[in-house]
Chains A and B, each alone.
Chain A
Amino acid sequence: MKHPHENAFDRFLDELEEQRLPAPTYLRQRILTNLPAHGALNDWFGVFTWLQNSLWRGAVAMLIPVAIGFSVGTYIPQESQNYSVETLLYADNLEEFGDHEI
C-alpha cells in the first residue's frame, strides 16, 4: 500500500497530464491579425543583410591599412626610432649623430 504522500504525488502528476489550458480566442486572433506582410519582411531582411555585409566589408577594409602600417612599423630600425623628427632636423650638436663632416 502506498504512503498518502505518494498517492498525492501520483494524483498531482495525473492531473498535470489531464488538465488542458486552451489558448484564449482573443490570443489566436491577436496572433493572426498582427502578422507582418511576408514580402515587406523579406525586403527589410534583405536591407539588413546588405547593411550587415557592408559594415563587415568596411571594417575589414579599414583594418587592412592599419595592419600593414603596424607590420611595417615593427621593421623600422630601432636606432631611428630613438630620435624624433624635430631632433633630426634641428639638432644643434651634430656630433650626437657621429658625423662631424655634415
Chain B
Amino acid sequence: MSGQSDEELIFAITQGDQVAFETLLNRHVDALYSYALRLGHSTTLADDLVQETWLTLWEKAHTFKPGKVRTSTWLHRILHNKFIDKTRKHTELLDNQAALGVHATTTPQSEYSTGVTLDELNKTLAKLPQNQRAALLLTHAQGFSNKEVATILGVGTRAAESLLARARLTLRNYFQSSREFK
C-alpha cells in the first residue's frame, strides 16, 4: 500500500478503502498540520482544520482530478478554504489569540538550531496580514511553487507573487526596526 502513488490511493479511497486513507494521511498530515498551526496560531483551530480537511477528502475523493494538481496542493487548498470560512466567523477570536501570544507546542529538536526560537517565529508571522502570511508559509515552509501557491489561495500567479513580495518586504522592515534580531 505504501508503494502506491497518491492518485492510486485516492482512487482506492473513492471505493471506501480505509487502509489507503490511513496511508495518505500519514504522508500528508504533518505538512497540513504545520501549515494550519502557523496560519491560525491556535492548536484547537489547527486540529479542527486538519480533521475537516481529511473528512472532506474522504467524502469528496471522487472530485479529485489526477494530473491537474498535486495531491498536496489539493489538500492545502481545501484546508485554506476552510480556514477562510472559519476566520470570517471568528476574526475577533484569532486577533485576540495572536495578541495574547497563543502559540504552538514547541518541539525541542527544532528550537535554537539557527538562533530563532519557535516562539519568535510565530510572533513574527503573526505580524503579517493573513494572505501575506499564507503566501510566505506556502512558499518557504511548505515548498510550493508560485503557481501552486496561486492555486491554493485561489488567486492569479502574479497576485500570489505580489503577496509573497509584500510579505518579504514587511518582514525585512520588521527585522530592520526590531532590536530583538540585531
Interface residues in chain A, defined as those with a beta carbon under 8 Å from any beta carbon in chain B: 3-6, 8-9, 11-24, 27-28, 30-32, 34-36, 38-39, 41
Contacts and interface: CB of A to CB of B under 8 A. Distances in A.
Interface of B: 15-16, 18, 21-22, 25-26, 29-30, 32-34, 37-38, 47, 50-51, 54-55, 58-59, 104, 107, 110, 113-116, 118, 121, 124, 136-137, 140-141, 143, 168, 171-172, 175-176, 178, 181-182
A12 to B, nearest CB: 6
A23 B32 contact: yes
Contacts of B141: 16-17, 19
B51 A31 contact: yes
Contacts of B54: 31
A4 B181 contact: yes
B112 to A, nearest CB: 10
A24 B34 CA distance: 11
B182 A21 contact: no
B104 to A, nearest CB: 6
Nearest to B37: A21
A35 B58 contact: yes
Contact of B33 (A5, A16, A17, A27): A27
B116 A11 contact: yes
